[in-house]
Amino acid sequence: MRVQDVCDQLALWVPNELAEDFDNVGLLVGNPEASVTGILVCHDALEAVIDEAIAMGASMVVCFHPIIFSGLKKITPEHYVARSVMKAIKNSIAIYALHTALDKINGGVSDLMADALELERRRILIPETEHYGFGRIGFLPNPLNPTDFIAKLGQIFKTTVVKHAALGSNRIEKVAVLGGSGAFAIEKAREQGADAYVSADFKYHDFFKADSDFLLADIGHYESERFTKNAIAQKLREKFPNFAVTLSELNTNPVKYYTYG
Sign of CA dihedral 199, 119, 191, 109: positive
- What is the C-alpha to C-alpha distance for residues 131 and 149, in angstroms, rounded to an integer? 29
Q: Whose CA is closest to 132, among 164, 174, 103, 104?
A: 104
Task: Give the domain extent around 43.
Answer: 3-101+227-247
pLDDT digits (tens, 9 = 90+) for 26-58: 999 999 999 999 999 999 999 999 999 999 999
Confidence of residue 196 (pLDDT cuts 50, 70, 90): very high
* Together in a domain, 231 and 216: no
User: Does any domain span residue 258?
Assistant: no
* Structure confidence at residue 104 (pLDDT): 97
User: Does any domain span residue 155?
Assistant: yes
Residue pair 85/76 in contact (Cβ under 8 Å)? The answer is: no
How many angstroms from the chain centroid is the CA of residue 192? Answer: 23
Say if residue 7's pLDDT is above 80.
yes
pLDDT digits (tens, 9 = 90+) for 215-255: 999 999 999 999 999 999 999 999 999 999 999 999 999 99
* Structure confidence at residue 72 (pLDDT): 81
* Together in a domain, 123 and 73: no
Instruction: Please tell me the total count of domains within the chain.
Output: 2
User: Does any domain span residue 25?
Assistant: yes
Bridge-partner residues for 60, per DSSP?
Answer: 39, 94
* Together in a domain, 124 and 57: no
* Together in a domain, 194 and 215: yes
| Phi then psi dihedrals of residue 82, to 5 deg | -60, -40
* Together in a domain, 93 and 178: no
Identity of the amino acid at 3: V
User: Does any domain span residue 253?
Assistant: no
CATH for 141:
3.40.1390.30
pTM for the model stands at 0.95
Mean pLDDT in residue range 144-168: 96
Say if residue 212's pLDDT is above 90.
no
User: Does any domain span residue 252?
Assistant: no
* Together in a domain, 89 and 48: yes
* Together in a domain, 111 and 186: yes
Identity of the amino acid at 28: L
| Pairing, β 26-29 against β 94-97 | antiparallel
* Together in a domain, 183 and 218: yes
Say if residue 140's pLDDT is above 90.
yes
* Together in a domain, 80 and 189: no
* Together in a domain, 185 and 165: yes
DSSP letters of 97-150?
E-THHHHHSTTSHHHHHHHHHT-EEEEEEEESSSS-EEEEEEEEEEEE-HHHHH
* Together in a domain, 120 and 135: yes
* Together in a domain, 136 and 175: yes
